[in-house]
Amino acid sequence: MTAYILRRLLYVLPIALGVTVLVFSLVHLAPGDPLNAVVAPDAPKEVVEQLKRDYGFDKPLPVQYFIWLGRTLTGDLGTSVATGRSVTEALRAAVPNTLVLAAGASLLGFTLGCLFGGIAGYYQGTWIDKLSTAIAITGVSIPHYWLGIVLVIVFAVELNTLPAMGMGPGGSSAWAWDIEHMKHLVLPVVTLSVIPMGIVTRTMRAAMAEILSQEFVQTLRAKGLRSYQVLAHVVKNAAPTVLAVLGLQLGYLMGGSILVETVFSWPGTGFLLNDAIFRRDIPLLQGTILVLAMFFVVLNLMVDILQSAIDPRMART
C-alpha cells in the first residue's frame, strides 16, 4: 500500500509538468496578440512594444515558458496584464470563494445523488427507480445557466426571499458562516449541485444494479443476512466506482462554473476565468487554468488512494 502511494505520488510530477506545458501551449496557441485585448486599438506602436518588453512577450515562446515555469515554482504566477495585480493574489482571493461554493454543492449534490442512486439501484424497476432516474436525467440535462436565472427570478425577484448576486450582504467579499452569507449561498449551490447530483445518481444506480446481480449477493441472502446488511456489502463494492466519479465532479466544482459564477456574480475562479478569457489576460488565464488543473491532479491522487484503501485489489494493479 505504501509503495503504491509513493508510486502514485511520483506519477504526479511528470503529470504536473505535462500540465504546465499544455496550459502554456494552449493559451499561447490561441490566435491574436497577447496585448490586443488590453491596449486600445489605436495605441502607439512604441508603447505596445514597451509593454511587450515589460511583460516578456517579446521573447521566444520556449524562453517565456521556462521563465514562467521558474516563477511558478516559487509561487509567483506573474502579473495580470489588464490590472497589474498579482495573479497569485487574485487566485488566493478567488479559490476560497469557489471552495465555499464547491463544498456546498458537493455536499448537496453527492448526498442527493447517492441517496437517489442507491434507492433506484436497490429498487430497480419500481416507481421509485423511475422517479429517481427521471430526477437524474433532468439534473444532467438542465442547463444550469438557465436554472440559475429561473431560480433568481423566482426567489430573488418574485418572492424577494434570497439575494440575486454576490456572496454577502452589500457585496461583502469576506465570507462568514452566518445567516446573511448562507442566504447568498443557497441559489448558487442549488444551481451548481444539479448536474453532479444527476451524474452521481446515474453512476450509483448503475453500480448498485450491477453488484446486486452478482452471485455473492445471492450468497449473502442465502446465508440469511438482513436487507440492510446486504445493502452495506453492496454499497462498499459500489464505492470505488462512485468515488472516481465523485472525484471528477469535485474537480469540476472546484474549477467553479464560469456560467453559474457569472450569473450570481460570485467572485470565485469561474468569474476570474471569465474575466481572463474576455480580456485575453494571458498571465491570469494560464495561472488560473494551471491551479484548476492541479486541483484535478491532486483530487485524482486522493481518489486513487481512497479507492485502494477501500479495495486493496486496486493497489496491486
Interface residues with another protein (CB under 8 A) are 31-33, 35-48, 50-51, 54, 79, 82-85, 90, 93-94, 149, 152-153, 156-157, 159-166, 169-171, 173, 179-180, 183, 262-265, 267, 271-272, 274-275, 278-280
Closer CB to another protein, 163 or 240, in the complex: 163
Q: Tell me the three cell numbers of residue 95.
A: 479559490
Closer CB to another protein, 7 or 85, in the complex: 85
Closer CB to another protein, 47 or 67, in the complex: 47
Minimum distance from CB of 41 to another protein (Å)?
Answer: 5
Minimum distance from CB of 155 to another protein (Å)?
Answer: 8
Cα–Cα distance, 107 to 160 (Å, whole number): 26
C-beta of residue 259 within 8 angstroms of C-beta of residue 271:
no
Return the exposure string of 280-315: e unless at least 16 CB atoms fall within 10 Å of the residue's CB, then b. Answer: bbbbbbbbbbbbbbbbbbebbbebbbbbbeebeebb
Closer CB to another protein, 37 or 302, in the complex: 37
Cα–Cα distance, 156 to 19 (Å, whole number): 40
Minimum distance from CB of 7 to another protein (Å)?
Answer: 40
Return the exposure string of 200-220: e unless at least 16 CB atoms fall within 10 Å of the residue's CB, then b. Answer: bbbbbbbbbbebbeeeebeeb
Length of the chain: 317
Minimum distance from CB of 81 to another protein (Å)?
Answer: 8
Closer CB to another protein, 36 or 219, in the complex: 36
Minimum distance from CB of 48 to another protein (Å)?
Answer: 6
